[in-house]
Structure 1
Amino acid sequence: MAVTDHPDSPTARDVLWRFGPMIYGPTVLFALGEGAVIPLIPVIAAQLGADVATAALVASALVVGQLCGNIPAGWAVARIGERLTMAIAGTVSLAGVVGLALAPSLGLFALSVLLIGFCAAAFGLARHSFMTTRVPIEFRARALSLLGGTFRLGMFIGPFVAALLLAVLGDEHATIWFFGACLVATVLLVLFGPDPERQFVTSAVALDDATLAEDTGEPVTGSIPTTERVGVLRTMWRYRRVLSRLGAAAASLSAVRSARQVVLPLWGVSIGLDAQTIALVVGISGAIDFALFYASGQVMDRFGRLWAALPAMILMGAGFIALSFTHESGQAAMWFAMFAGVLGVGNGLSSGILLTLGADVAPKDDPAPFLGSWRTLTDAGGAIAPLLVSGITAVASLAIATGAVGAIGLLGALAFVRWVPRFVPRTTP
């Protein structure tokens, strides 16, 4: 089936601009509020009587909630739609915010954190599904990389907002109410903002119908649209091959990303750096990461998904392995700063790749149940990595744990080489 060019085809800028009010704006707001609250969760838990280990457990409830929320979110999106799921998730998150602010006990506070994580999973999956079914494939990687970038922007600025609120008001709960205000704005924007489906999708569908060339009878690749709607469990079984292969590769990338956030601060402490220096190095690494998010989408759209995933995994895998040999070096601080930058470059080059690959292999007519399973796999990889680093460090050393993370990165690179060409064949837009 051939598609001919059309003079009225929308540009990438048109597509991205039209999705701003519905997707990118709410994402920034949600991430901004969440990013302001996350650093203070252990602090407030400690005020409610938690020791260090318990406070860390309470903070991890956010990730547990995300893991638990992905599959139910896929079910919800498939039945009530993306826009309504996003609005409900934002509204229910307000109940979690009230629980955070007013919780009289540590147990209720932890349940509130869990609820916010659950709702964050639903919100994230709904916008992922929305973009999967609405954005033209030739702009998909750039659109989803920008989605990842807007989330990173909110999470990057959020802690600074929290610091400002603490300096002015001196109360940790002010950041919680700030999160609540962000959620209210998010829900209002989702419900009453410009609908990109009215602005873009209808005309895009008409355009596609008008530009389909005559059927030549040649075999085509890809999924065939169908009106059949299946459940989450049946979807997982039907797509078990791609989930167990390409999904496992994606989980390895998520694991390496998550380990980076744990290993770098621990490494700085272990080589004797002060907190200010560690924060500066990690901050510069994060800034490099953020600066490259749109470049990742450009690479994926122009050259193919593998050209972003493979360099990212090789850089991060080799960076961790090289860093593991520098702990006893006389220039340990210099190597730490250099490889933190390398890891930032690798992570930046992978921006949006998990969202894009999930959208590429999801069924086109009903992607939400599949994306629920896909995001559960990737979130599980991110959740397991810090536990793996902690366990190996306790048994052996931080250097060995860092090398193990690097090995996961290189194995993940091989998995991407093996499975991306099979499940996401290179096509020219």
Structure 2
Amino acid sequence: MSSSASSVLLRFGPMVYLPTILFALGEGAVLPLIPVIAAARGADLASAALVASALVVGQLCGNLPAGWLVARIGERFTMTIAAAVSLLGAVASALAPSLALFSAAVFVIGMSAAAFALARHAFMTTRVPLAFRARALALLGGSFRLGMFIGPFVAAGLLGVFHTEISALWFFAVCLIVLIVLVVFGPDPEAQASADEAAARSHRDEAGLAEDSGEAVSGSIPTAERIGVFQTMRRYRRVLSRVGAAAACLSAVRSARQVVLPLWGVSIGLDAPTIALVVGVSGAIDFALFYAGGQVMDRFGRLWAALPSMILMGGGFIALSFTHDLDSHLLWFGMLAAVLGVGNGLSSGILMTLGADIAPQRDPAPFLGSWRTLTDAGGATAPLLYAGIAAVATVSIATAAIGVIGLLGAAGFLYWIPRHVPGAASVEE
């Protein structure tokens, strides 16, 4: 494999980055409209929220089966199957005559999204050299953020032209068709990596250096001595319960940010355009910094990106919780939303990078299924926790609680990353 980082990233463009943008673009267009479509099929507010949560529940339920599937048939086939199932889910959602069928289709999209994400994560884990890993995965995270950032604007344009929310689902279907074509017929970096590895092995044999050189392994994932998902969870339970718990805190804080900022704006009496502006600026800062986190992780180590991002987000939420009744609450809201955007931007790719670092390199998919289940669970739980605390106390207390979770995650990273990710190397339990 080339020693140039740019050549590594360009090699994976047609197989990983462009499909990721397409998937996120379609999903980003659909996500804001799921409650609206559910309401049009007879759901009340509570039911519409439940239907929207079916996507997250589907992702949670899909991670472990996806790990099993990738281990059996490989990343490329799993990505293709996941995209095809998502396509069926998008078409079913557009044509669903009832709320129950629409909910089931959204759940299926969530499950297939989990499989697609895990397959590309496993692919990058085994194909990208360690020296470029964080940057490559940060770019992967940035590709997803780009699609999710543009998607809602595409949905708004489609609504303006077609005057129906279903147009976003058909747009998602078109994105998935193009994605499948790219994955199936695009350049195969796996084949090139295998050829490079074979050439390197032949060269070592000729030079009498066939023994292990310590270089990063690329090419196809070895199939020998593979173990199941649940056996993998048992074998790596220590690292999952330690680094994985801190990672779940990061996922929780990230997810809560999307809920806290709009609700905070409502609670201090701001109108919708002002809230949208503040949240939009925070999101723009987040997106602008996605590659910086990868650079920091590759150059200085994983902790130097994980710890500042968690401290910024945890401290930002706690600081925000004290500003609700201040006369300058709008100024503080804007400033701290920007701080949260910086923290979230620096964390781009961290969860995927840490998962890749500590996964068994011979067969990472089952481990990554467990890892992604933990992180997705943290992201799914945080909004519910925030809503529950706000219901029985105040939004200030609920916001502070999210900040405490962030600081606990920072402490977990500070303690466990040096012990389980020394030099960003993988860990053998």
Gaps (5+ residues) in structure 1?
A: 1-7
Verify: 1:386 aligned to 2:379, yes or no.
Answer: no
Task: Name the residue aligned to 1:377.
Answer: 374
Shift of 1:203: 1.2
1:264 aligns with 2:261: yes
Q: 1:47/1:197 Cα in 2 relative to 1: closer, same or farther (>3 Å)? A: same
Whether 1:421 and 2:422 are equivalent positions in the alignment is no
Q: Does 1:49 align with 2:42?
A: yes
Residue identity matched to 2:358: V
Which TM-score applies when normalising by structure 2? 0.94
Match of 1:333 among 324, 330, 333: 330
Judged with a 3 Å threshold, the aligned counterparts in structure 2 of structure 1 residues 139 and 172 are, in CA distance, closer, same or farther, namely same
Amino acid aligned to 2:102: F
Tell me which residue corresponds to 2:72: 79
**Aligned position for 1:308:** 305
- Are the counterparts in 1 of residues 302 and 424 from structure 2 also a CA contact under 8 Å? no
CA shift at 1:199, angstroms?
A: 2.9
Whether 1:356 and 2:356 are equivalent positions in the alignment is no
| Partner deviation per Cα, 1:25-84 (whole Å, 9 max, x = no partner) | 100000000000010000010011101011000000000000000000000000011000
Distance in 1, matches of 2:32 and 2:323, equals 29
Aligned to 1:14: 7
The verdict on how the C-alpha distance between 1:314 and 1:214 changes in structure 2, with shifts beyond 3 A counting, is farther
From 105, 122, 130, the counterpart of 2:98: 105
Query: What is the CA distance between 1:197 and its match in structure 2?
Result: 1.7
Give 1:185-200 correspondences, 5 Å limit. 185-200=178-193
Q: Deviations over 1:265-288 (max 9, x none)?
A: 000000000000100100000000
Check conservation: 2:26, 2:175, Cα contact below 8 A: yes
In 2, are the aligned partners of 1:316 and 1:347 still within 8 Å (CA)? yes
Task: State the TM-score, normalizing by the size of structure 1.
Answer: 0.94
Quote how far apart the aligned CAs of 1:330 are.
0.2
Does structure 1 conserve the Cα–Cα contact (< 8 Å) formed by 2:118 and 2:369? yes
Question: Secondary structure of 2:42's match?
Answer: coil
The one-letter amino acid of 2:156's match is A
5 Å-filtered alignment, 1:7-406, equals 9-204=2-197, 206-207=199-200, 227-406=224-403
Q: Alpha-carbon deviation of 1:94?
A: 1.3
SS in 1 for 2:423: coil
Q: Give 1:91's aligned amino acid.
A: A
Distance in 1 (CA, whole Å) between partners of 2:379 and 2:198 is 37
Q: Distance in 2 between matches of 1:315 and 1:214?
A: 48
Contact 1:18 1:200 in 2 (8 A): no
CA contact (8 A) 1:140 1:356 kept: yes
CA contact (8 A) 1:324 1:402 kept: yes
Alpha-carbon distance, 1:427 to partner = 5.8
Counterpart of 2:361 in 1: which secondary structure? Answer: coil
Deviations 1:66-117 (A, max 9, x none): 0000000000000011000000011111111111111111000000000000
1:69 and 1:30 map into 2 onto residues whose CA distance is: 16
Measure, in 1, the Cα distance between the counterparts of 2:204 and 2:264.
Answer: 56
Which runs of structure 1 show a deviation greater than 6 angstroms over 4 or more consecutive aligned residues?
211-217
- Percent of residue pairs bearing the same amino acid type: 71
Q: Is contact 1:134-1:201 (8 Å) kept?
A: no
In the TM superposition, what whole-angstrom CA distance separates every residue of 1:311-357 from its partner, at most 9, and x where no partner exists? 00000010000000000000001100000000000000000000000
Compute the displacement of 1:202 (Å).
Answer: 2.8
* Alpha-carbon contact 1:295-1:349 (below 8 Å) kept: yes
Letter in 2 for 1:191: V
Letter in 2 for 1:387: L
Q: Is the Cα–Cα contact under 8 Å of residues 285 and 341 in structure 2 kept in the other structure?
A: yes
Q: CA offset at residue 168 of structure 1?
A: 1.0
One-letter code of the match for 2:142? Answer: G
CA pair 47-36 structure 1, distance change in 2 beyond 3 A: same
Q: CA deviation at 1:198?
A: 2.5
**Counterpart of 2:37 in 1: which secondary structure?**
helix
- Classify the secondary structure of the residue corresponding to 2:363: coil
Which amino acid in 2 is paired with 1:141?
A
